[in-house]
Structure 1
């Protein structure tokens, strides 16, 4: 039996003994109600300790950082580190006593002091009104009602101005802190190093930290000052007033109670500081996935990756939902404890403290008539409740401080990481041999891998081609692309097994005519090389093929959208595992449904990475920021393995082999030929002509030219061979 369950059993056994001791006259349903109420309270306390233990076991949160390095999150709590960090930030937001922020702080202090004095005055007036009402002195009562009306005017002004000044102070803090962060973060190329060259100091979700986290911190800081200063001021003034009219016994009894309840609250308080920091991190991740969707919209659209991206975004929001639900549950439990112990029990104790002067005759209460006692009771009640509220706010202050500890941690980490990046300067990089990153001896290679790559690879690729043909219809069922449609007055798309452009003019969204009256036909296994100056319409041609742009005029015959795959120079790398990078936009469940294994993926990857440097360095289930983890060549190798995995009928290669060796590049084109993938290659390198049959050249002025490649000159275009 779990310890928590044993605790509940013991508590319930004890409760049964307590119920047995209830007065014999009690009915059974009263006992049952008492049992349910006390049992629920015990269960709540046990749940507190259980959840707190779970949080402690999860405190070693690991944040994945580029290049396989890891950084453990620092502990977020109210300790010496927190106060040290807070002091550094305060020096930024309040630079001197002559600053505007310090003047606002002084004005806010004056308003808080004025509100406390007005509260004391209102308590005196309320007591006098009660006395006059009981004694039926209507003239005096009208006088004090008039005084109350006069006092309410400055009271309304102070309360409204106090709220306004608190918000303005938070805004001034945010302005000062944001300008400081902008000055450090945007100095030189710090912003670039923070996201690309930061290493272990790379700033995750920098936009979240610079915007939302700073705002939350400044709001918490401004509210914290009013939360601390006013209760302390109320504590001093109301205690002094109560001692003068009631003696020391009642206020001291109230103090003792809150000290005990505050100590008990501290023992069972969950780590809201760490939970707040985690909440901010999850919100940043959620914002990041949406930004990635916008930044890579074209590549995602070419891959038909909306289904996969929806899964990623839903998972990210699911993390926020589960975490927020858990935090709300903890806050509910804390609220139950606060409401019962700090509010209601304190009120019960307050009534007892109010009765002491009357029944014990303290401060001359024994000789007073009913009207005077009523005045004292109403006045003392107002003062005692205000004192209890002030002490209660101090007891509950831990909640706000722990919440602010999370925001302080996030903002401080931002400042510290920017400082470290700035101090590190432009340190030189360590040279690493891409093919020997795992420690292998240069020039050597695993004989097993070599044999599979050299002897069995072509045979396996032919088997893979057959498997992909058999799975093509099943894979099409996963496509989210809609049926091709054409707006009125535009061109027409027709589904077919080849690609043909007839009288097509390519027009950009800005209305620029890029290509006029384009006519060509590409049959399967007829590779085409496309060249031309920048802005001549090369990428625009593929946006039409991918149905990202509408067809202005003419007719386009093309296969289904999922049978055309686009591979850009900087390939899109999805958030997820290494496996997800190969199978995107499919997921692991789709892969199992197709009967594809990790061994199949390794065979595909070994085609473009014969030394297996990628799979030997990372496991298939590793989750990293792959865009910053992979080198340029590794990104392109993974993108080509993704092409082989999907094995479309047509592929568009946009300078996607510029970062790999000539040998690997040649193997890529040979593999595409073996798999029966027809290629459109955007490139100006003449050595690639050997892998193509035709050239489509745009002149940048709306013209174009279709040329057949003469392969009798291939020996002049072959790249040099290096031994």
Structure 2
């Protein structure tokens, strides 16, 4: 009785007697595994609740400490709040480790160096190339640098837990197989008590088996998510960096490297989203899809060796190797098919995205037929690739199913029957129930081995799939490191300098840090097209000395030149106007000043970046941001506390106070679609009316967008502001008011425009001119670098020397309007005073009549001025 599973005091004598007859012992493996599963579940739930309680206390203490940075040893982590269910959870984001990124950069350079040397070396044998698996090398680099960068990483524990669970599941499968044979044996032998005991054991064993299967799925998904988090954060540390990698990726052509390492920046979103997700999920599942079958083969082969003998096991594995070799011959190149399909999917996705973003423009131009043909052509290419893949998978699937499902199963029955068929006749008849048990066990183990072998064969496709995604992820990381390098040369092709002795530099030099080429002379670097300009910061003003504006291209400094060598100087407080026709390089000057384009030659002296604000021609608004976020961008409303009265005052200053009223007087308003209602910051809903659009760009008109950007400029109050076409959607009178407002705030303004009427607000003018017979090419054209571009000359003049002391026409008109407004006001105030002021009223009426006549003349002049300005704009 002492061996029963339950204490005898809790059961009646009849129950104890019944259990004793069933011979159920608490030391049996099913009972012990059942108890272990129950106790581990209780311990796990308790540990989870304790950890959750500690985390809640920790979050509460952090909130009380006013969201101070979280100190972790020598590293400081940034903590953000992420919405989760009906509350938020805190997520720690560690700062990028740039020392580690620099070291990793060397690893990628070394890989490319060895790859190119192996490819170009005449002494490299085909055998060495065969054993040098590029797939494994790439996967090892990603694994070592990103996925599991250290032995005691969290992912290491998850991987060990996954492997341990896989071993446990194999052991449980073996126990279930033995129990299955015992049940059949007892049933045939008509041993009812043992049969019932085995059924009870079966239910008990089902608990740890189910627990193990669920744990494997959970750990696999958790490992996939952890891999994805590490890889995504690593890519974002490179991509969203102060070196503007996300912008400069478009210039990284990599024309000197093999095509497999070239990345089209237009489809980088496909790499950063779907490819990373597919790569991490495939890699995490690969351990389950290959580890479990491999363990089954080892464990079951050891067990079956005692029943089938060494010859039977050798025959089984010989069959596996032969079929594996045959299927390998029939297998198509899954990795290449996957890469090509993913590329076509990215093209199709991006073109649909382009239709969404430019729907209004396409509708105005009636370009639907052309866009329809284009998108059908793109989908046609994708459809052909998918159909080609389906045909190849059909032929391979036939042989795969025929061999793995039917041939191996038939051979499993044959090998399972060998011990029974070869046994003496007397033993067959006397031990029929035992033979049945052995046959059932052998059959199930053979079928399990066949299933394990088939899953290993199926995993060939998973490995090929992983190989394709590994190539794409490695290409992404390679290009990110290349652009992030401090010596990035904007896709410079060194083969352009074949006339020099440096043309023999290996093609891998494109991935090298060109800051290490100090032994090269300045003349040789210039002839090769290297970036040779100098940028000086912390200068109190703006100074350019012999700086040409060159479009970044594989030709480097020998590429298309937009503007001849610029040389001028302006001091703090002096406003500069840059004018010229479309495509003459006005915006290109701003790109060079902001560091988006390189300075190939000359000297650029400018203030610190913290003292300059750049306003591009196309207004940008934070997606899903509040009204407050649009004004204070790039600051965050979560980390920066700004007085509401200040923001409301800025809206009034730029003439947008009605927006604040329109949005229910709520600076935390954000446009959203939720049951056709607008959601305010307090969660309440109100009728959206005509503002139920889901983006700020569609919610605001062109003029309102530009006014909002001016409010953003006033909020940040930088010493220097560079404006690109800041008022081309605003009326002339509002333009006059805004520029006077900016000058009143004491900002040093650098304005890029094609309106010469803005000269009155500036002290200097830089005019970009070209010959009349020359052709100007728009910079937004994708083929700009391949087309001849006009090199523009420039004229720099001092507007203060050419100006007179008389007021402008606009100022005079404004003064007259103020006088008329005051006269009307005085007339209304004196109207109730009776006849004592009749003479004053008559005089006021005469003055108003005279002023109206003068005003009509001035307005006529203003109309003529607008006609001239419009004519100049069109020219």
After TM superposition, the score normalised by the length of structure 2 is 0.44
Cα distance in 2 for partners of 1:433, 1:513 equals 33
1:372 corresponds to: 434
**What secondary structure does 1:97 align onto?**
coil
Cα distance in 1 for partners of 2:785, 2:776 equals 12
The 10-residue stretch of structure 1 (255-264 or 365-374) with the greater mean CA deviation from structure 2 = 365-374
Rate the CA distance shift 1:136–1:294 in 2: closer, same or farther, 3 A.
same
Match for residue 156 of structure 1 among 203, 207, 210:
210
Q: Deviations over 1:486-512 (max 9, x none)?
A: xxxxxxxxxxxxxxxxxxxxxx96577
1:430 corresponds to: 557
Any residues of structure 2 matched to 1:603-622 within 5 Å, and which? none
Cα distance in 1 for partners of 2:461, 2:382 equals 21
**What secondary structure does 2:557 align onto?**
coil
Q: Tell me the C-alpha RMSD between the 2 structures.
A: 4.3
Q: Deviations over 1:195-234 (max 9, x none)?
A: 2455645543110001110100001101111122111211
Rate the CA distance shift 1:632–1:341 in 2: closer, same or farther, 3 A.
closer
Does the aligned pair in 1 maintain the 2:348–2:378 contact within 8 Å?
yes
Does the aligned pair in 2 maintain the 1:243–1:251 contact within 8 Å?
yes
Cα distance in 2 for partners of 1:316, 1:266 equals 33
1:707 corresponds to: 863
Rate the CA distance shift 1:176–1:77 in 2: closer, same or farther, 3 A.
farther
Matched, 1:214 2:341: no
2:421 corresponds to: 359
Does the aligned pair in 1 maintain the 2:263–2:476 contact within 8 Å?
no
Cα distance in 2 for partners of 1:612, 1:287 equals 35
**What secondary structure does 1:430 align onto?**
helix
Rate the CA distance shift 1:510–1:208 in 2: closer, same or farther, 3 A.
closer
Does the aligned pair in 1 maintain the 2:428–2:435 contact within 8 Å?
no
**What secondary structure does 2:474 align onto?**
helix
Match for residue 347 of structure 1 among 377, 385, 409:
409
Q: Deviations over 1:140-181 (max 9, x none)?
A: 111101111100011111111211211111111000011111
Rate the CA distance shift 1:127–1:384 in 2: closer, same or farther, 3 A.
same
Instruction: Give the deviation of 1:351 after TM superposition.
Output: 1.1
Cα distance in 2 for partners of 1:393, 1:258 equals 12
Any residues of structure 2 matched to 1:532-543 within 5 Å, and which? 533-536=727-730
Does the aligned pair in 2 maintain the 1:246–1:362 contact within 8 Å?
no
Cα distance in 2 for partners of 1:372, 1:535 equals 92
Instruction: Give the deviation of 1:367 after TM superposition.
Output: 7.0
Q: Deviations over 1:27-46 (max 9, x none)?
A: xxxxxxxxxxxxxxxxxxxx
Matched, 1:414 2:476: yes
Instruction: Give the deviation of 1:77 after TM superposition.
Output: 11
Does the aligned pair in 2 maintain the 1:254–1:388 contact within 8 Å?
no
Q: Deviations over 1:69-92 (max 9, x none)?
A: xxxxxxx99961111101011111
Does the aligned pair in 1 maintain the 2:702–2:729 contact within 8 Å?
no
Cα distance in 1 for partners of 2:729, 2:366 equals 25
Rate the CA distance shift 1:533–1:383 in 2: closer, same or farther, 3 A.
closer
Instruction: Give the deviation of 1:707 after TM superposition.
Output: 2.6
2:373 corresponds to: 311
Instruction: Give the deviation of 1:115 after TM superposition.
Output: 0.7
Cα distance in 1 for partners of 2:346, 2:703 equals 40
Match for residue 784 of structure 2 among 627, 630, 652:
630
Any residues of structure 2 matched to 1:74-223 within 5 Å, and which? 80-91=133-144, 92-187=146-241, 188-196=243-251, 198=253, 200=255, 203-204=264-265, 205-223=267-285
Instruction: Give the deviation of 1:359 after TM superposition.
Output: 1.1
Runs in 1 of length 4+ with deviation above 6 angstroms?
A: 76-79, 362-365, 511-515, 608-614, 632-635, 659-662, 709-719
Cα distance in 2 for partners of 1:134, 1:627 equals 83
Any residues of structure 2 matched to 1:318-337 within 5 Å, and which? 318-337=380-399
**What secondary structure does 1:96 align onto?**
coil
Cα distance in 2 for partners of 1:224, 1:532 equals 54
| Structure 2: 5+ residue stretches without partners | 1-128, 256-261, 490-529, 532-555, 563-696, 705-724, 733-752, 755-770, 794-812, 818-858
Cα distance in 2 for partners of 1:155, 1:305 equals 61
Does the aligned pair in 2 maintain the 1:131–1:375 contact within 8 Å?
yes
Cα distance in 2 for partners of 1:84, 1:136 equals 60
Cα distance in 1 for partners of 2:478, 2:288 equals 28
Rate the CA distance shift 1:355–1:329 in 2: closer, same or farther, 3 A.
same
Instruction: Give the deviation of 1:244 after TM superposition.
Output: 1.5
Cα distance in 1 for partners of 2:463, 2:872 equals 74
Matched, 1:244 2:306: yes
Does the aligned pair in 1 maintain the 2:252–2:479 contact within 8 Å?
no
Rate the CA distance shift 1:661–1:155 in 2: closer, same or farther, 3 A.
same
Cα distance in 1 for partners of 2:272, 2:791 equals 37
Cα distance in 2 for partners of 1:404, 1:185 equals 23
Does the aligned pair in 2 maintain the 1:270–1:330 contact within 8 Å?
yes
Does the aligned pair in 2 maintain the 1:235–1:391 contact within 8 Å?
yes
Matched, 1:382 2:429: no
Q: Deviations over 1:551-577 (max 9, x none)?
A: xxxxxxxxxxxxxxxxx99xxxxxxxx
**What secondary structure does 2:558 align onto?**
coil
Does the aligned pair in 2 maintain the 1:77–1:271 contact within 8 Å?
no
2:346 corresponds to: 284
Instruction: Give the deviation of 1:376 after TM superposition.
Output: 0.7
After TM superposition, the score normalised by the length of structure 1 is 0.52
Instruction: Give the deviation of 1:283 after TM superposition.
Output: 1.2
Any residues of structure 2 matched to 1:236-635 within 5 Å, and which? 236-361=298-423, 366=428, 368-423=430-485, 424-425=487-488, 427-428=530-531, 429-432=556-559, 510=699, 533-536=727-730, 627-631=781-785
Q: Deviations over 1:676-711 (max 9, x none)?
A: xxxxxxxxxxxxxxxxxxxxxx99x9xx98734799
Cα distance in 1 for partners of 2:139, 2:338 equals 16
Instruction: Give the deviation of 1:405 after TM superposition.
Output: 0.8
Does the aligned pair in 2 maintain the 1:434–1:613 contact within 8 Å?
no
**What secondary structure does 2:332 align onto?**
coil
Does the aligned pair in 1 maintain the 2:560–2:788 contact within 8 Å?
no
